[in-house]
């Protein structure tokens, strides 16, 4: 059964990638002229890698292909409030806020890692991101990165029958993603995100340990410092998974990026209150159709810890 799911997942992923590649190929000549505007106009500049596909290392909840520069530290604070439809009795969700505080660091221009703590389900998480390919003005049509994450749920172990043991591994969750993005112009960027989320413990009689999903995200710049973003994760497996007896839904998010100097301020509406791949991809229990939306924001502040050699 697992082999069948993986085969189905890979087949759909390859199909989507081919469609994505075909789109980029058909628009390549037009995109070249748009990308030329991003360079100085010299022949050497036209062979350089395209920069700033996204303005932050995350689109909304999910990772973008962007990485921090070597020696750069990113301090991130993320909030997701309760359901807006809870009304004034819960101050439209503000009384039910969850928070993630994280630190991300760039080791090289192609390698970064991050750690964080979430109040939602009391979860600690970490990730590593590796940039595999970079889009070129002439040549490579896409940027490709790998994102691998692990999270540990720190809530107390449940009460088990005598003789049963709650293992530490039961608290662990893993996620693997290939991020494929293209900057079509100075205004428009799109990203495809094939994803596997592994849960060490599930009801194996009903669900698989692996949730397979395809994510799609994008950014549309509307002014010098403001961009509209969007993100959607479609689950291919475990679509009927239950969390505490509640049905789960695909995560849909829309947002606004505001650039203010060393800050990127992100505002969003989403049906996912969790902020790790485990929760927002596979365990979102709220639905847009039912009006169960969460207002939230991310604040990012970067610091240069180790100056590049050319600035020393």
Q: What is the mean pLDDT of each run of 10 residues along the chain (312 residues)?
A: 45 48 43 44 64 93 95 94 80 83 95 95 95 93 97 85 83 96 96 96 87 97 95 96 92 94 86 94 94 93 81 54
pLDDT score of 3: 45
Measured between alpha carbons, how far is 205 from 174 in angstroms, rounded to an integer? 21
Q: What is the pLDDT of residue 45?
A: 56
Concatenate the DSSP letters of all residues of the chain into one string: -HHHHHHHHHHHHHHHHHHHHHHHHHTHHHHHHHHHTTS-S-TTGGGSBP--SSSSSBSSSSB-S--PPTTEEEEEEEEEEEEGGG-GGGGGGGGG-EEEEEEEEESSSSEEEEEEEETTTTEEEEEEEEEEE--BSSS---EEEEEEEEEEE-SPPPP--TT----GGGGEEEEEEEEEEEE-SSSEEEEEEEEEEEESS--TTT--SEEEEEEEEEEEE-SSSEEEEEEEEEESS-TT-EETTEE----EEEEEEEEETTEEEEEEEES----SHHHHHH-----TTTT--EEEEEEEEEEESS--GGG-
Residues composing the chain: 312
Range of the domain at 296: 72-156+166-306
The domain that holds 194 is classified in CATH as 2.40.160.40
**Number of domains observed in the structure of the chain:** 1
Q: What are phi and psi of 69, to 5 degrees?
A: -70, 160
Yes or no: say if 111 and 130 are a contact pair by the CB < 8 Å rule.
Answer: yes
* Inside any domain, residue 40: no
- Residue 66 resides in a domain: no
Distance in angstroms (rounded) separating the CA atoms of residues 81 and 270: 10
Q: Is residue 226 part of a domain?
A: yes
**Contact status, residue 142 vs residue 181, Cβ threshold 8 Å:** yes
Q: Let me know if residue 202 belongs to a domain.
A: yes
Q: Which residues contact 32 (CB under 8 A, 6 or more apart)?
A: 137, 138
| Domain assignment present for 48 | no
Residue 31 in any domain: the answer is no
Instruction: Tell me, yes or no, whether 250 lies in a domain.
Output: yes
- The pLDDT value recorded for residue 68 is 94
- What pLDDT score does 86 carry? 77
Q: What is the DSSP code string of 98-156?
A: EEEEEEEEESSSSEEEEEEEETTTTEEEEEEEEEEE--BSSS---EEEEEEEEEEE-SP
For residue 62, is it within any domain? no
pLDDT of residue 146: 98
């Amino acid at each position: 059964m697992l082999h069948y799911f993986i085969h189905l997942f890979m087949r759909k992923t390859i199909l989507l990638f081919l469609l994505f590649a075909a789109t980029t190929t058909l628009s390549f000549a037009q995109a070249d002229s748009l990308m030329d505007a991003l360079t100085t106009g010299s022949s050497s500049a036209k062979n350089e890698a395209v920069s700033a596909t996204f303005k932050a290392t995350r689109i909304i909840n999910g990772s973008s292909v962007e990485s921090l520069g070597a020696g750069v530290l990113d301090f991130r604070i993320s909030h997701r409030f309760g359901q807006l439809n809870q009304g004034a009795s819960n101050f439209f969700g503000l009384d039910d806020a969850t928070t993630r505080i994280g630190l991300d660091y760039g080791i090289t221009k192609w390698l970064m890692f991050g750690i964080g703590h979430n109040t939602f389900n009391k979860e600690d998480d970490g990730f590593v991101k590796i940039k595999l390919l970079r889009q070129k003005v002439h040549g490579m049509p896409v940027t490709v990165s790998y994102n691998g994450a692990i999270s540990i749920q720190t809530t107390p172990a449940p009460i088990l029958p005598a003789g049963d043991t709650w293992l530490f591994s039961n608290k662990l969750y893993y996620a693997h993603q290939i991020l494929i993005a293209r900057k079509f112009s100075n205004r428009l960027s799109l990203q495809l995100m094939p994803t596997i989320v592994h849960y060490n413990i599930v009801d194996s009689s009903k669900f698989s340990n692996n949730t397979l999903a395809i994510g799609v995200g994008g950014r549309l710049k509307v002014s010098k410092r403001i961009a509209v973003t969007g993100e959607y994760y479609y689950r291919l497996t475990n679509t009927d998974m239950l969390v505490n007896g509640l049905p789960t839904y695909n995560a849909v998010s829309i947002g606004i990026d505001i650039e203010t100097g060393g800050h990127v301020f992100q505002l969003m509406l989403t049906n996912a209150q969790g902020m790790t791949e485990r929760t927002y991809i596979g365990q979102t229990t709220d639905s847009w159709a039912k009006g169960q939306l969460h207002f939230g924001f991310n604040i990012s502040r970067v610091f240069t810890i180790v100056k590049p050699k050319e600035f020393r």
